[in-house]
Amino acid sequence: MASDDCKNLLYDQACLQVWADNAPNISLWMQTKECYKCDLLKKENISNNGVTNIRLNTIYSLWLDLTNDSSHNNCRTLHTFEEHGVYQWNISSNFNCSQIKQISTPQDLFMPFVYALLLIIPAFAVWFFINYLQRTYVVPSVFRFASKTDLDIENDFGTGSNEPVIIHPQIPTPVKNNSYRITSLDTFRGISIILMVFVNLGGGHYWFFEHAPWNGITLADFILPWFCWVMGVSIAISLRSQLRSSTKRKYVFGRVIRRSIALLIMGLVLNSVNNNNLRTFRPLGVLQRLALIYFIAATLETIFMKPQPYFTNTRLDVIRDIIESARQWFIVIILVAIHTVITFFLPVPGCPKGYLGPGGLYNSSSNTNCTGGAAGYIDRLVFGENHMYPGSPKPVYQSIPFDPEGILSTLTNTLLVYMGVHAGRIILCYQYTNERIKRWIAWTIVLGLIGGCLCNFSKEDGLIPINKNLFSLSYAFITGSSAFLIFIILFLIIEHWRLWGGSPFNEIGQNSIMLYLGHNIFYNTLPWRWQPVNETSHTEYLVMDCWATIFWCAIALVMHKKNIFIVV
């Protein structure tokens, strides 16, 4: 291979120089550590009595194996390469392999974050400075935006106000004049949608801002569950508000159907922006998933929710939230049981029952076409491979297509949403802050322990590994536990201690649908994104993705000040 292969390395690339001294018929075999129990694949033939330069990907640690075709001797090693580093590996005539040596200093992988902070910090400073000027009336009123009043435009997806609820550590205060919106809920939604926009834009092309190829979990894998959980809380509060206002259930259900259909249509239209070919059009997606899980959860609440909290004046008041939602939970548990039975017992042609792997190279390519087991089989049967999501886990495992927003995983996603619904019911059933916090903490601990036990507190082991693509039970429990934990922290800081008003995430969270649609439709357009000038590092990608995210946040903030909200 040409010696200039060590020049002009791109981001996440390093160069390995293999020196062979009178060692003919040598081949380099390679595989990433991320590819669980995968066979090594042939990468390059090594030149005899010379140097062979090989570009390597630095995202994951690599298994490397130099093999002599005639003697079948080999030397295998696991090594972690760093971006733009140049490494040397020597092999002698008696087939002795040296240690891999670093001969060129790699680039600092996290230095681009310094440049990103130089963009993010001034943006926050400008926002707080403008707010300060408006609060102190320094800015003339002709230039000040109108502030948002008590708008009744709650729609469960992130716009408008929540039902007023009583927030007090010990003594409930009257709703009149002393009620507060759940600002921490809007703030949590805002944080989730900002992270979602940033990750969808590319996250600076860092691996930890991308979804796990199969088993395991990254920061990106928490974001959609958080958004779904927040949606569940909003469902409980919004529907209780409508029922209290004596709205007939058939009209409430009509709104549920309308919103579900609207989300479904928006998702289909959004998918057509990048692919309008009917032969390969993907009918599934995030908004379609939100439409289905919202419909299921909101329908259950519309049918069974009581207009007023459940009170018994007995010791059972301690679990009044569970008593009030017993019928809903019974149905949700049935849905989870259906998911579990299908996952582990549905016969899939050519695959073992209960298969949960990614297929392809996984486990020595023993089940190549079994990607996703029953979940993948159902989606391929209903939609066909040409209409499936083409991404994960294909790059690592070289698998057949699998859709992470598939049919079967909707059931476990519904479980996650209903965790959020129950968090909202706790708000409605209990007026004391300490009563709410104790129950949320209990849910945090119990869900985390159940999820951890299911996956054996590991990445690949356990009865049900943690897996975003399958939306496995362990994944639903662990992400639900994390959502409870974050909400507890926000609730205490914003509602209880009043240390922070949630700004600017509070305002941004009230236009989440606009942010999601906007950044997807204008993904590759100026002024949000441009063709990178320098592709050799993460710097320009990270700055560009931060800039685009900040720009979308600024648009949401202006819309909030102008009382403009995109509702469903």
Which of 34, 8, 336 has the alpha carbon at shortest distance from 211?
34
Structure tokens at 558: 């202006």
Q: Which of 174, 178, 221, 256 is nearest to 466 (CA)?
A: 221
Q: Give the residue from 68, 74, 106 showing the smallest Cα distance to 87.
A: 106
Using alpha carbons, select from 239, 212, 568, 206 the residue that is nearest to residue 393: 212
Are 451 and 466 in contact by the 8 Å Cβ rule? The answer is yes
Q: Are 568 and 510 in contact (CB under 8 A)?
A: no
CA–CA separation, 337 and 379 (whole Å):
19
Distance CA 71, CA 50 (A): 20
Q: Which two tokens stand for residue 340?
A: 């579990």
Structure letter (DSSP) for residue 98: P
> Among this protein's residues, is 211 annotated catalytic?
yes
Backbone angles phi, psi at 146, to 5 degrees: -70, 135
Maximal C-alpha separation, the chain:
89
Question: Are 30 and 3 contacting, i.e. CB atoms less than 8 angstroms apart?
Answer: no
Q: Among the options 205, 211, 387, 519, which is catalytic?
A: 211
DSSP 215: B
Contact between residue 112 and residue 539 where contact means Cβ atoms under 8 Å apart = yes
d(CA 363, CA 185): 43
DSSP secondary structure string, 263-300?
Answer: HHHHHHHHHHHH---TTT-----HHHHHHHHHHHHHHH
Residue bearing tokens 């009583």: 166
Residue type (1 letter), 347:
P
Non-local (6+) Cβ contacts of 111 within 8 A are 539
Q: Partners of 15 in the beta sheet?
A: 55, 86
- Tokens 């390469």 correspond to 81
- Alpha carbon distances (Å) from 529 to 485, 526, 540, 551: 34, 5, 11, 11
Rg (CA), the chain: 27
Cα 504 from Cα 234, distance rounded (Å): 19
Q: Which of 53, 49, 59 is nearest to 1 (CA)?
A: 53
The residues annotated as belonging to the active site are 211
